[in-house]
Amino acid sequence: MKKNVIKGLKTALPIALGYLPLGMAFGILAAQQGLTALDVFFLSLLVYAGSAQFIASAMLASGAAAAAIILTTFLVNLRHLLMSASLAPFLKHISSPVLAWISMGITDETYAAGYPAASAGKASPAFYLGLNGLSHFSWIFSTVFGCLLRSRIPNPEKWGLDFALPAMFIALLFIQLKNKKDILVALAAGVLSAALAFVMRDNFNIIAATVAAAFIGVCIEK
């Protein structure tokens, strides 16, 4: 068990480091919008989703109704349903109560970092204890810390904190590149997304490029 926990901690390390500047940026913004450190703590503990928290914080500051905030964050996080479904075939050996706990810790980053171990049949509850535990702790700590430091860092973009999330995803992408097929699909997604950005708005180019690259990957696989 100890070995698997350590493996999970090592897998989570780049995520935890990436969460520090991103979480601080959220904490600073949330404080500027009137949220307290306690508010930020419970948002990070219970919601635990960067994009949803940024949206929820703005909606809370604007006085939006609770139902609207809950529905919006639910829709934003709906992609986690697909992530959980893709992991389910590899985690059949784990009991349902433990799976429910593991699912709480699924984010874009922990899913990407943990998928290789899960697909290889090497993911255990102890592994996810290290992976999800360290990642979640880092997010909570960084968001609350950022909230408390709001007066000292009024402009997070000046320090490049807004680039933390793209940088972390780039690092996670390189972890997944193991053969020429992976590289080709990744390049196809990047090129298509950049090209479609000139004709599509509201980030729909990312969705279209992802679907197209996935189709290319299936064709190469066959």
User: Where residue 45 falls among pLDDT bands split at 50, 70, 90?
Assistant: very high
Query: Does residue 120 form part of some domain?
Result: yes
pTM: 0.72
d(CA 53, CA 61): 12
- What are the CA-CA distances from residue 11 to residues 45, 112, 123 (Å)? 21, 10, 11
Query: Does residue 109 form part of some domain?
Result: yes
In the listed set 119, 137, 161, which residue is the last one of a domain according to the structure?
Answer: 161
Q: Which residue has the higher pLDDT, 25 or 138?
A: 138
One-letter amino acid of 93: H
Q: How many residues does the chain have?
A: 222
* Same domain membership, residue 23 and residue 114: yes
* Same domain membership, residue 144 and residue 220: no
* Same domain membership, residue 98 and residue 188: no
Instruction: Name the phi and psi angles at 78, rounded to 5.
Output: -65, -25
* Same domain membership, residue 188 and residue 130: no
Query: Does residue 214 form part of some domain?
Result: yes
* Same domain membership, residue 102 and residue 75: yes
Query: Does residue 166 form part of some domain?
Result: no
* Same domain membership, residue 214 and residue 140: no
Q: Is 33 exposed, middle or buried (0-12, 13-18, 19+ CB in 10 A)?
A: middle
Count of C-beta atoms within a 10 Å radius of residue 42: 12
* Same domain membership, residue 156 and residue 131: yes
Residue 145 is predicted with a pLDDT of 93
Tell me the average pLDDT across 54-82.
82
d(CA 118, CA 88): 9
* Same domain membership, residue 68 and residue 12: yes
Q: Running DSSP on this structure, what letter comes out for residue 43?
A: I
Q: Is pLDDT above 70 for 165?
A: no
Query: Does residue 71 form part of some domain?
Result: yes
Residue 129 is predicted with a pLDDT of 95
* Same domain membership, residue 108 and residue 46: yes
Q: Highest mean pLDDT: which of 131-135, 171-175, 179-183, 206-210?
A: 131-135
Domain with 119 in it: 2-161
Query: Domain total for the chain?
Result: 2
Tell me the average pLDDT across 29-34.
84
* Same domain membership, residue 183 and residue 134: no
* Same domain membership, residue 221 and residue 150: no
Interacting residues of 69 by C-beta distance below 8 A, sequence separation 6+: 56, 59, 60
